Structures are given as C-alpha cells and as structure tokens.
Amino acid sequence: MVTQPDRAMRSNVLERDWAIDIVRVCSITVVVVVHWISIRVTVVDGTVRGDQALHGRPIWALTWPLQVMPMFFLAGGFANTLIVDRYRARCRTYGDYLGSRVRRLTTPMITLIAFIVALDIGLDVFSERAAVATADIVASPLWFLAVYLIAAMVGPFAVRAHDFSALLAPMVLLGCSLTVDVLRFGGVGRFAEWNLIFVWLFCHQLGILYARGTLSRVGDGGVLLIAAAGIGVLIVMVVPGPYFPTMLGLADAPVSNLAPPTTAMSILAVTQFAALVLVSRRLASWEPRGRARHVITNGATQLMNIYLWHIPAMAIVTGAALAAPVLLPSDPRTWWAARPAWIVAAAVVLFGFVQITGRWDAFCARYAARTATLPVLAGSVLAAAGIFALWRYGLSPHGMAGLAALTVVLAAALLTTPRRITPPADYSPSSAPTG
C-alpha cells in the first residue's frame, strides 16, 4: 500500500505531467475533427439533409485507435488524485474540494445555454424543425460532462478505495459493466445506460492507478504484455461476438461500443493505459519548448470550452453555407475535397467562441466558490442531473429541456458566493481534466 508521504511525493512530482497534457490535446483534436467530418449536410431539391459520412470496413478498424474518450476520464482520474492529495495535505473538507471543482465544470454551460436559447428563438422564425435539430446536435456531447461531474463527486472516495486496494474498485466496476452487458445482449436493454457510470468510472480509476504509479515497478515488457492482453481480449469479445465491431456509430454500423458504452470500452482503456505508461516513461525528463509548449499548455487549459463549443462552431459554418447551397455538394468526392477548408473555417469560429467564453470564465473566477458541504453537494447533483437531462432532451428553452437548463443555472448559482476574490494568475476554469 502507498503511504501518505509516498503519495505526497508522487503528487509533487506529477504536478505537471506532459504526457497527460499531450494526450489531452491530441484527444480533443481527434474528437473535434471526427465530429466535424462525421455528418454530411447537403441540400437536395431545396431540402436540407444530414447523413452519416463515415462508413466502410477500413473506417470500422480506424474507430478503435481513434476512440479517445477513455483517455479523458483517465486524465480526469489523474487530476482528481492530485487535487484530493493536495486538499488532504491541507486538511480541507469535501466541500472545499467539490465546490471549486464542480463550479469550474458548470459555469461554462451558462454561456452555451444562453447561446442556444438565442439561436433557438432566431431559428424558430424560419423553421421550428431546424431549431429542434440544432438543439439536439449541440446537446449530443453533453453526456461526457454529466458523467465527468459524477467522477468529480466520487473522486475522494475513488482515491481512498485505491489506497485501500488498488484493484478492488476497477474489478468491481468491471464486474458491474459485464453484468449490464450480459443483460443487454440477453435482451434486457433497459439497464444499458448504467454503463455510462460503470465504464467511465473504470477509466477514471485507471487514472488514479497512473497517478499513484501502480505500474512503476513493472518493466516495459510487462506493460507491453498488458497492452497485448487487452488487444487479445478485445479480439475475443468482437470476432465471435456479441460485442460490436466499431467504437463509433457509423452509417453502416449505427450501433457501437460507445453509445451506451460496453465493457469493450473498458478493455480498450486498459490497452491505452498501458500505452500511456510507456510513453510517459520516455517523456519523464522532457519538456516542450517555445511554440509547442504554448500550444500544449493553452490547449490543455481550454479543453472544456473547446469540447462544448466545437459543435456550435460547425453549426454556424454550416448555417452560413445554407445561403449558398453550392457549398454543400451532394457528390461525396467533392464534399470530402472541401473538408480541409471547412475544418479551417470551423476552427476560426471555434477560436472566437473560446476567446469569448474564456472571458466569462474569468468573470466567474472573481467570485468564490461555495464550500459548505451540503449546499455544494446539492448543487453538484443538480448540475449533473440538469446536464444529463439536456443531453437527453436537447438544448432548448421548451419543455423538459427548458427545465433542465434552469436547473443547471440554479446549480451554478448555488455553487457560487457573492464574495469577490482575486483568482490565481494561472487559473483556468474551463480546464476540466486538468488540475
């Protein structure tokens, strides 16, 4: 078992882990680009259509190395471990830890909700159907934030569970996800979404293993063996079945191991964890310089805003192109040839969104987060429930979605006090998986 001094020493060493930051930046880049090329919007006989653009067996194979969501939760487990150790060393309470953590994750949602409400009102003038479709598309990635909030809430308990027994929590979570899979493949699918908790908290637990250096005494050969074993298990799970052959929903494979996740995602996470350990060993004494350092640092500290706003950015570019339907060709080859220009245009819009929302984050950082445990816990539960409902019902000011949006705003208010403070110079409220 790792002792408290050992934990503190390891936390001090890993306050800045460049391997983790590189993984974060590369992962968010993959997510953004894949989302930007996944839907082919065209105008056929005056009707706007959105069809899946990715299909074919080669793409099936690519979904496995391109499925990076486990790495976000692994990075989150790493960050939460360092934060928990820091707060314990200072004898701070659970409310101290949770208040600032959840407030940082929740306040960026306020600007997104305001933007969608304004967009919904504007689109309603032209097409109610377009307004609903846009709200649904923008809300589609929000499951991540809802689950990540839960991971933040259980962070101190997850770290304590690891320190009691490193493998107990991962094995329990793996057993739970396997049980859900058995029920799902046996025809009882109503429990499938429970794996949003079991699978992603398993990945979060791997981040705690990484932060604690659990594999530090295992040589490179042993780590490679773990990665190879994970690949072997995945082959057994997929080739005979019943697990799905893709890690993303595609035109010719709409059901994947992602939505909702299956245990195949957990096994993929083990393989990625082993790969991360190998990479981090080779980067242990390396630091980026100059432009590379700037890009990695800024990218890592703006992850949440990039994640929340990359879909609205593409929606804006696509909406502008509707004024000139020739920019939305129906021929697939022409459409693909235009993708680089579209990605550049969406990146420019996304950069503008991130700059604006960064100012909102800085404004929120002027006010202290609440630290009383009960109000903070209530605000955290409201935030997670509200964001989950927004994912379920879409970002809209109407009906259940409107109530969910109000719940998120209420949660952000509950987590914030009127007391003004001066935030640290390096404060970055939107950097969810960083410290």
Q: Residue 245, preceding bond cis, omega within 30 degrees?
A: no
Q: Tokens representing 391?
A: 């994912």
Residue 295 in any domain: the answer is: yes
Token pair of 263 as six digits = 């245990």
Class of residue 187 by CB neighbours under 10 A (exposed 0-12, middle 13-18, buried 19+): exposed
Q: How many residues does the chain have?
A: 435
User: Quick one: pLDDT at residue 347?
Assistant: 95
Residue 429 lies in a domain: no
pLDDT at residue number 8: 42
How many domains, the chain?
A: 1
Q: Which two tokens stand for residue 228?
A: 């190879």
**Do the domain assignments include residue 435?**
no
417 three-state secondary structure: strand
> Does a structural domain hold residue 425?
no
Cα separation, 102 vs 381, in Å, equals 10
Query: Would 176 be classed as within a structural domain?
Result: yes
What Cα–Cα distance (Å) separates residue 267 from each residue in 28, 91, 151, 153, 273?
A: 21, 36, 19, 24, 10
pLDDT tens for the chain, 435 residues long, are 344 444 443 444 445 788 899 999 999 999 999 999 998 888 777 677 778 889 999 999 999 999 999 999 999 999 999 999 999 999 899 999 999 899 999 999 999 988 887 777 766 555 555 556 666 788 888 999 999 999 999 999 999 999 999 999 999 999 999 999 999 999 888 899 999 999 999 999 999 999 999 998 999 999 999 999 999 999 999 998 899 999 999 988 889 999 899 999 999 999 999 999 999 998 888 888 888 888 888 888 889 999 999 999 998 888 888 778 778 888 888 889 989 999 999 999 999 999 999 899 889 889 999 999 999 999 999 999 999 999 988 777 677 878 898 999 999 999 999 988 876 554 554 444 443
**Distance (Å, whole) CA 90 – CA 179:** 40
| pTM flag (> 0.85) | yes
343 residue type, one letter: I
**Which sign, positive or negative, has the C-alpha torsion 267, 202, 305, 26?**
negative
Q: 239 lies in a domain?
A: yes
Contact between residue 428 and residue 370 where contact means Cβ atoms under 8 Å apart: no
DSSP 421: -
pLDDT at 28: 93
In a domain, 433, yes or no: no
- Partners of 39 in the beta sheet? 52
The residue range of the domain holding 96 is 4-420
Cα gap 401→387, rounded to integer Å: 10
Tracing tokens 């503008």 back to the chain, one arrives at 352
Residue with tokens 């953590």: 101
279 in any annotated domain: yes
